[in-house]
């Protein structure tokens, strides 16, 4: 069957789901703020549905009204709502009501899996009962989470061949193929095992290789089945990773039906203090030695497949001779050009690796080094790599040109048997183009890259050296405006920690909302009595954080004394994983000897370690910044939070450093206007782990004397709710701390 015949047949099957505006013409049905707020009043439908345990919060009334008005008025809202307000239901109910009244989908984005699970398993089913009508919802996953049936077919045909990406990949590939025959969901999360990245790369659905309705598996495609379910949903639950990835895909493709999600129209972003970080990550351009190798290995497999197909179709008709010519030639044309790219890129990335190794202060890895434009222009430490760029560029351009030629013929004249090859060639072409563009931008060092900070990272993976280059936006505001704000009718940005002082100025500046006329703001106070429930311990005689043995030993003793005072039930937060390991190893024998179980980040998966901590009731958990949020442990199991150091960003981190410089260049105080606000919001997140309900009691100990000695320390103290405070020499503080825990 040729391509034209196939297209005629495809017209009879279900068309691709494009997400149309539900209400093209006609007026919106507005919601009454009074009516929506009444759901939460004593005796209202929320209480009737929730049953015993429901507690009316007057602060919630203003929050619900603000959110309702944002939907009615097509406005944006910055909303700070602490734990205990009922924030999630406060936005879900008006969002669901709006969707049901107006037929417009609402995207709800969270940063943590815990909150996502709560929304799906608890809150939305409750909403359906409250509203007396089923609220349809979908949990959206990224495209690469789904198995591609077309790519699966191709792998099946290659199984006897060695896999250049994994020495022992055949058994794993067969296991994935067996699962593919049984799964109804097609999502990697439905698999009974976790596949290696190398193998899943061969099976995963992806936008670059997806041929959509041209695919023989279109109707049964797992990804498009999920997309059709999303098209029927009122509420679409996503994470920040997918939200920003999707708007980036739509922007790159130049069309709103690309990606997984419908066009952004009504969006609620919870845990919005993470927006700047998520957006920066997804607007960053990156390539690596491993990425280039994957792309080239993929092309090798395509060329081998094409050669086999040509060999099996020598009897093809004259009309198809050009197709067979191209297929036959690929095995001759591509390999020498692939070899040139391999040689040039290997030299380029090895040079970056060597320069990184020389620049690393202690020969360690796991971080990025900023690359300045003047270093590139002057031929400094990265000079050798830059000098190799022309060879990389020329070899990639040559290979890309040959891939384009093959695509031009196969895409227009090929039949069913070449659909998979066309899909793979499109992905390879896009990959080469992406790698080339990032390397070109890195090596250019011109004014066109003024809003980007360049960086290099290097290390070893499976004993293989690797290096990567990144270009990250210094100012994300223009990208958010173009890709999100200009497309949104309603945007709710909410979190328990959006403010740095008394207002939202820092967030508005960081996210480019300062001059947005559609923005409204609201901060509601905590419903908890922190003066009664919480104690803040501030010893003022501990050494400042430094990478010395004396500091590490002194910090360890202080942590031990605090945890002894609380008799466990402690979350100890570090700003350095190295320091965490050093202290936990030193303290574990003593604490275990005292009957306090020690749990350390990295010893087991995050969810398991939290479950173990909660179940024990008297354990101590050592964690880094990832445990500052998403830890929701009410009751006595978590009664002490130890903040070992004020959570400032690493000064040498490239994006942070570049943003600090940009603020300084504008004549402003970068430390107080950027470094401190970022750290204060992180601090508030850590403090918020302690009091989760009205009956919780406990203490937060800050073992960083800068909070009492430095002028900026008051910013941290003033950013949290007023509570009882212990301040003085450590021995005095820990003695009073013990009395406090003895009394509760």
Please indicate, yes or no, if residue 13 is contained in any of the structural domains.
no
Instruction: Convert the pLDDT of each residue in 71-116 to its tens digit.
Output: 999 999 999 999 999 999 999 999 999 999 999 999 999 998 889 9
Q: By C-alpha distance, which of 279, 281, 273, 109 is closest to 685? A: 273
Please indicate, yes or no, if residue 19 is contained in any of the structural domains.
no
741's torsion region: left (phi>0), alpha (psi -120 to 50) or beta? alpha
**Angstrom distance (rounded) from CA 80 to CA 92:** 16
Q: What is the pLDDT of residue 362?
A: 57
Query: 500 with 593, same domain?
Result: no
Place of tokens 């959570």: 647
Please indicate, yes or no, if residue 7 is contained in any of the structural domains.
no
- Cβ neighbours of residue 229 under 8 Å, at least 6 residues apart? 138
What is the CATH classification number for the domain harbouring 578?
A: 3.40.50.300
Range of the domain at 682: 530-743
Query: 81 with 166, same domain?
Result: no
Give me Rg for the CA atoms of the chain: 28
Instruction: Convert the pLDDT of each residue in 444-456 to its tens digit.
Output: 765 556 789 999 9
Contact 699, 640 (CB under 8 A): yes
Is the C-alpha dihedral spanning 720, 725, 731, 735 positive or negative?
negative
- Cβ neighbours of residue 267 under 8 Å, at least 6 residues apart? 106, 107, 108, 109, 243, 484, 488, 490, 491, 492
Query: 485 with 580, same domain?
Result: no
- Cβ neighbours of residue 10 under 8 Å, at least 6 residues apart? 213, 214, 218
Burial class of residue 123 in the structure, from the number of CB atoms within 10 Å of its CB (0-12 exposed, 13-18 middle, 19+ buried): buried
**Angstrom distance (rounded) from CA 190 to CA 570:** 35
Per-residue CA distances from 608 to 585, 600, 604 (Å): 20, 11, 7
Q: What is the pLDDT of residue 446?
A: 53
Q: What is the pLDDT of residue 444?
A: 76
- The residue out of 202, 227, 252 marking a domain boundary is 227
Query: Crossing angle, helix 419-444 and helix 321-359, to 10 degrees?
Result: 30
Please indicate, yes or no, if residue 77 is contained in any of the structural domains.
yes
Q: How many CA atoms lie within 13 A of 64 on its CB side?
A: 28
Q: What is the DSSP string of 249-302?
A: HHHHHTSTTSSSSPPPSEEEESSGGGHHHHHHHHT-EEEEHHHHHHHHHHHHHH
Residue 728: DSSP 8-state? E
**Angstrom distance (rounded) from CA 242 to CA 330:** 36
pLDDT-based confidence at 259, cuts 50/70/90?
A: confident
pLDDT-based confidence at 165, cuts 50/70/90?
A: low
Copy the structure tokens of residue 306: 């094409």
Place of tokens 């940005």: 493
Whether 709 shows a pLDDT value over 90: the answer reads yes
Residue 147: DSSP 8-state? B
Beta partners for residue 702, in sequence order: 643
Q: What is the pLDDT of residue 6?
A: 35
- The residue out of 440, 458, 473 marking a domain boundary is 473
Q: What is the pLDDT of residue 25?
A: 41
Contact 143, 304 (CB under 8 A): no
Per-residue CA distances from 142 to 150, 244, 323, 343 (Å): 18, 11, 34, 34
Q: What is the pLDDT of residue 64?
A: 98
Tell which wins on pLDDT, 156 or 10.
156
Tell which wins on pLDDT, 421 or 445.
421
**Angstrom distance (rounded) from CA 282 to CA 241:** 8
Query: 351 with 459, same domain?
Result: yes
Beta partners for residue 493, in sequence order: 78, 269
Please indicate, yes or no, if residue 672 is contained in any of the structural domains.
yes
Place of tokens 């406990």: 698
Please indicate, yes or no, if residue 29 is contained in any of the structural domains.
no
Q: What is the pLDDT of residue 583?
A: 96
Query: 311 with 459, same domain?
Result: yes
**Angstrom distance (rounded) from CA 85 to CA 63:** 9
Contact 237, 229 (CB under 8 A): no
**Angstrom distance (rounded) from CA 158 to CA 164:** 12
Contact 163, 169 (CB under 8 A): yes
Place of tokens 């936008």: 207
* CA 536 centroid distance within chain: 32
Query: 482 with 362, same domain?
Result: no
Please indicate, yes or no, if residue 22 is contained in any of the structural domains.
no
The total domain count for the chain is 4
Query: 69 with 175, same domain?
Result: no
Whether 457 shows a pLDDT value over 80: the answer reads yes
Segment 425-439 mean pLDDT: 96
Helix/strand/coil percent split, the chain, to 5: 55, 15, 30
**Angstrom distance (rounded) from CA 75 to CA 71:** 7
Copy the structure tokens of residue 167: 């020495």
Is the C-alpha dihedral spanning 207, 209, 213, 218 positive or negative?
negative
Query: 416 with 559, same domain?
Result: no
Query: 563 with 517, same domain?
Result: no
Please indicate, yes or no, if residue 26 is contained in any of the structural domains.
no
Whether 608 shows a pLDDT value over 60: the answer reads yes
**Angstrom distance (rounded) from CA 45 to CA 127:** 10
The SS3 assignment for 318 reads helix
Copy the structure tokens of residue 483: 């890709």
| The residue count for the chain | 744
Q: What is the pLDDT of residue 4?
A: 36
Contact 507, 673 (CB under 8 A): no
Query: 418 with 450, same domain?
Result: yes
Q: Average per-residue pLDDT in the chain?
A: 90
Whether 169 shows a pLDDT value over 60: the answer reads yes
Query: 404 with 548, same domain?
Result: no
Contact 512, 451 (CB under 8 A): no
Instruction: Convert the pLDDT of each residue in 493-543 to its tens digit.
Output: 999 999 988 789 999 999 999 999 999 999 999 999 999 999 999 999 998
**Angstrom distance (rounded) from CA 171 to CA 246:** 33
Whether 143 shows a pLDDT value over 80: the answer reads yes
Query: 413 with 455, same domain?
Result: yes
| 0.85 exceeded by pTM | yes
pLDDT-based confidence at 7, cuts 50/70/90?
A: very low
Tell which wins on pLDDT, 177 or 10.
177
- The residue out of 437, 456, 473 marking a domain boundary is 473
């Amino acid at each position: 069957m040729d391509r034209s015949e196939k297209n005629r047949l495809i017209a009879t099957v279900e068309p691709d789901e494009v997400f149309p505006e539900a209400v093209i013409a006609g007026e919106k049905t507005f919601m009454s703020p009074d009516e929506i707020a009444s759901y939460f009043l004593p005796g209202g439908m929320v209480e009737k549905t929730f049953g015993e345990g429901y507690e009316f919060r007057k602060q919630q009334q203003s929050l619900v009204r603000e959110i309702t008005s944002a939907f009615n008025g097509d406005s944006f809202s910055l909303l700070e709502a602490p734990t205990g307000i009922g924030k999630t239901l406060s936005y879900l109910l008006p969002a669901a009501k709006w969707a049901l009244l107006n037929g417009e989908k609402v995207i709800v984005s969270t940063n943590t899996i815990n909150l996502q699970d709560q929304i799906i398993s608890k809150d939305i089913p409750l909403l359906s009962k409250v509203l007396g009508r089923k609220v349809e919802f979908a949990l959206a996953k990224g495209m690469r989470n789904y198995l591609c049936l077309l790519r699966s077919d191709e792998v099946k045909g290659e199984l006897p061949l060695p896999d250049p990406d994994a020495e022992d990949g055949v058994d794993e590939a067969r296991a994935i193929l067996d699962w593919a025959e049984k799964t109804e969901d097609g999502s990697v999360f439905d698999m009974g095992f976790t596949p290696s990245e190398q193998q899943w790369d061969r099976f995963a659905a992806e936008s670059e290789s997806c041929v959509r309705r041209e695919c023989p598996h279109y109707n049964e495609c797992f990804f498009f089945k999920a997309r059709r379910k999303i098209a029927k949903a009122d509420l679409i639950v996503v994470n920040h990773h997918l939200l920003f990835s999707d708007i980036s895909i739509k922007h790159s493709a130049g069309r709103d039906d690309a990606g997984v999600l419908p066009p952004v129209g009504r969006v609620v972003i919870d845990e919005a203090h993470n927006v700047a970080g998520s957006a920066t990550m997804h607007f960053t351009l990156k390539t690596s030695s491993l990425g280039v190798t994957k792309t080239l290995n993929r092309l090798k497999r395509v060329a081998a497949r094409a050669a086999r197909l040509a060999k099996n179709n020598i009897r093809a008709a004259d009309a198809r001779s050009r197709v067979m010519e191209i297929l036959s030639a690929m095995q001759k044309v591509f390999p020498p050009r692939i070899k040139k790219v391999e040689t040039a890129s290997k030299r380029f990335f090895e040079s970056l690796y060597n320069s990184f190794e020389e620049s690393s202060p202690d020969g360690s890895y796991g971080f990025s080094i900023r690359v300045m434009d003047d270093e590139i222009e002057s031929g400094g430490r990265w000079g050798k790599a830059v000098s190799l760029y022309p060879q990389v560029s020329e070899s990639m351009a040559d290979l890309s040109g040959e891939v384009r030629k093959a695509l031009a013929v196969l895409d227009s004249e090929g039949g069913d048997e070449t659909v998979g090859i066309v899909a793979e060639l499109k992905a390879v072409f896009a990959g080469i183009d992406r790698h080339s563009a990032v390397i070109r931008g890195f090596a250019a060092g011109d004014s066109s890259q003024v809003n980007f900070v360049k960086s290099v990272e290097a290390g070893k993976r499976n004993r293989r050296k690797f290096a990567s280059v990144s270009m990250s936006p210094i100012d994300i505001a223009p990208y958010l405006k173009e890709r999100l704000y200009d497309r949104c009718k309603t945007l709710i940005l909410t979190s328990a920690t959006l403010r740095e002082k008394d207002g939202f100025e820092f967030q508005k500046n960081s996210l480019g909302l300062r001059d947005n006329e559609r923005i409204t703001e609201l901060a509601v106070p905590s419903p908890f009595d922190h003066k009664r429930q919480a104690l803040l311990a501030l010893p003022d005689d501990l050494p400042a954080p430094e990478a010395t043995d004396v500091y590490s030993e002194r910090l360890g003793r202080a942590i031990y004394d605090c945890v002894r005072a609380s008799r466990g039930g402690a979350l100890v937060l570090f700003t350095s994983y190295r320091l965490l390991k050093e202290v936990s190893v030193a303290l574990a024998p003593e604490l275990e000897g005292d009957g306090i179980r020690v749990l350390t980040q990295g010893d087991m998966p995050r969810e398991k370690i939290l479950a173990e901590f909660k179940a024990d009731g008297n354990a101590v958990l050592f964690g880094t910044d990832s445990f500052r949020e998403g830890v929701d442990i009410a009751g006595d199991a978590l009664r002490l939070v130890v903040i070992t150091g004020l959570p400032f960003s690493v000064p040498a981190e490239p994006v942070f450093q570049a943003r600090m410089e940009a603020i300084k260049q504008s004549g402003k105080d970068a430390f107080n206007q950027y470094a401190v606000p970022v750290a204060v919001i992180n601090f508030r997140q850590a403090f918020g782990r302690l009091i989760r309900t009205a009956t919780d009691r406990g203490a937060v100990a800050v073992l960083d004397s800068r909070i009492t000695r430095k002028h900026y320390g008051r910013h941290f103290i003033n950013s949290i709710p007023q509570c009882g405070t212990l301040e003085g020499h450590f021995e005095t503080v820990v003695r009073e701390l013990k009395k406090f825990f003895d009394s509760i």
